[in-house]
Every structure is written in C-alpha cells, then in structure tokens.
Amino acid sequence: MSWFESFVLGLVQGLTEFLPISSSAHLRLTAAFAGWHDPGAAFTAITQIGTETAVLIYFRKDIARIVSAWFRSLTDSSMRGDHDAQMGWLVIIGSIPIGVLGITLKDQIEGPFRDLRLIATTLIVLGVVLGIADRLAARDETGGKHRAIKERKSLKELGVRDGLIFGFCQAMALIPGVSRSGATISGGLLMGYSREAAARYSFLLAIPAVLASGAYELKDAGEGHVSWGPTIFATVIAFVVGYAVIAWFMKFITTKSFMPFVIYRIILGIVLFVLISAGVLSPHAGESAG
C-alpha cells in the first residue's frame, strides 16, 4: 500500500465511520473502484482505533463520569442505582454479542462477507430499515393532524433488554455495508428512543468493541501488501477527520432527518448491482491481489 492510498483510505474511514453508511463498505469500495488491493479486515479494524479515539475525546466527560461511577459501584452498593454506573454495565452487556460473533465469524468477515454483491444488498436493506425507523421517529416528534406529539425515550430508560438489542444490532455491522452506527441507531429508533439518545449510546457502545477488535488485529498488521507505516498514517488521518465528523453529526441529528443517508445507501447499492451485472466491476475486485 502506498502512502497516497493510506491517506485516501484514512480520509474515507474518518468521513464514514460515524455516518450510517458503513465505513468498512466504503473502504472496500474505494479500493475496488480505484483498482487497489482490498485493504482487508485487519487494516479496517486498526484504522477504526483512530476514529474511536475521536469518540473518547469528544465524549470524554461522559466517559469519565460513567467509568468513575461504574468502578465506585463495585464496592459501594449505594452507587448501583446511579444512572452512570448502570450505563457502564449496559455498555459491557451490549458489547457481548459483537464480541462473541466477531470471534465466531472471523473467517467469514475476512472472506465471504467482503463480496461486493453482499455489500450492495446490505446497503439497500439497512437503508430501507433506517428509512422506516427515521419515519417513525419523525411521526412521533412532529405529530400530525390527528396525532399528538409523542415523547421518545432517553438513555435513562435504557435497560438490560434494550441494551442487548442494541448490542445485537451493532453485531450486524460485522458484515460490511450494514454500518455500526446505522444498525444501532435504527434499532434504537425502532425501540422508541430519540435520535440523540440512539446515536449517543451507539457511539459509547462502539468503544469497547472497536478497541478490542483493533487490538486483536494488531498481530496481522504489516502482513501482505499493507505495512505498518501506511496503516498508522491512515489511522491518524481517520482520527483527525473523524473528530470533525462526529461533532457535525451530533448537531445534525438534533434537527435533521436521516433520509439523505437512506437515499444515498439505496442508490449506491443499486449502482453496485448494475456495475457488477454489466461486468464493469467484479464482486471480488482486489481480493486476489489483497
């Protein structure tokens, strides 16, 4: 991998990680369209450490409060009813599904799941699901001629059951094209949570999963055509760009609909199917060389 490739892929990772359009799919597609080797699951997982570092810094006050309350609750029973302490347990519980499935499906994640036909399918299907969830949220928030405005749930109402459902939604992102934020936000909206609550928990829930995945894949970094230098460079680029994107996205969702992302996902998925059907793009583009 050249330094230019690593710069572009780091930029793509930072731009797409927090948007509900799938960063792993866009890394895969960028390489395929440019005629580069598939950067692979290890490169993707490690560069995500950069974007998760942006989450750690952006939500540093929330994270510090949650971690502090969680540790105190281990020895102080009076703290166990504290919302922040409970949030610490809910993040741990919600991380179990992706941890178990990530290890179980490792070979599929690095192989069959990177087929461009599957990515096109997941882009479209999750796009439709996100569109439905967004529409339901908008209906509750705006009401209507014969419908009163309905208040959506906040994270203070999050329990073990919903935490696990969020976790299983996040685990779906093991398939490129699903999108970690897209799946968890869709799940949250369908369960009745507000856009801001669903997005905030989505980002907090991703921290242990992404950091653990990146650490696990470190052993494979530097193998094949991807060396350590470009991987680290791409990770730094992803961090800088990712921080700017997350700040923008958290403001965007408070007043805007997810429909632009829904339309983009569906169009991209259709274009992929057309290109593959026409023989312009191979569903395994870059894989053999990667």
Report pLDDT digits (tens) over 115-154.
899 999 999 999 999 999 999 998 888 776 667 788 899 9
Q: Average pLDDT, stretch 178-203?
A: 93
- Strand stretches in the chain, DSSP E: none
Amino acid at 196: E
Which has more pLDDT, 46 or 91? 91
Q: Shortest CA distance to 5 belongs to which of 25, 41, 49, 35?
A: 35
| 20 within 8 A of 261, measured Cβ to Cβ | yes
Check residue 179 and report its DSSP letter. -
Mean pLDDT of the chain: 88
**What residues pair up with 153 in beta bridges, in sequence order?**
193
Q: Shortest CA distance to 247 belongs to which of 86, 37, 65, 18?
A: 18
Task: Report the C-alpha gap between 87 and 205 in whole angstroms.
Answer: 10
Task: Report the C-alpha gap between 136 and 188 in whole angstroms.
Answer: 11
pLDDT of residue 141: 81
pLDDT > 60? residue 225: no
pLDDT > 90? residue 114: no
Q: Which pTM was predicted?
A: 0.86
Tokens in use for 40? 């692979």
- Separation of CA 232 from chain center: 20
Terminus-to-terminus CA distance in the chain, angstroms?
A: 10
* Cβ neighbours for 226, distance < 8 A, ≥ 6 positions apart: 1, 37, 39, 40, 42, 43
Token pair 């810094």 is found at 57
Check residue 172 and report its DSSP letter. G
Token pair 């799941």 is found at 113
| 31 within 8 A of 221, measured Cβ to Cβ | no
- Separation of CA 169 from chain center: 10
Rg (CA), the chain: 19
Task: Report the C-alpha gap between 66 and 87 in whole angstroms.
Answer: 7
Task: Report the C-alpha gap between 30 and 234 in whole angstroms.
Answer: 14
Amino acid at 75: T
> What percent of the chain stands above pLDDT 90?
57
pLDDT > 70? residue 45: yes
- Angle among Cα 250, 271, 166 to the nearest 5 degrees reads 35
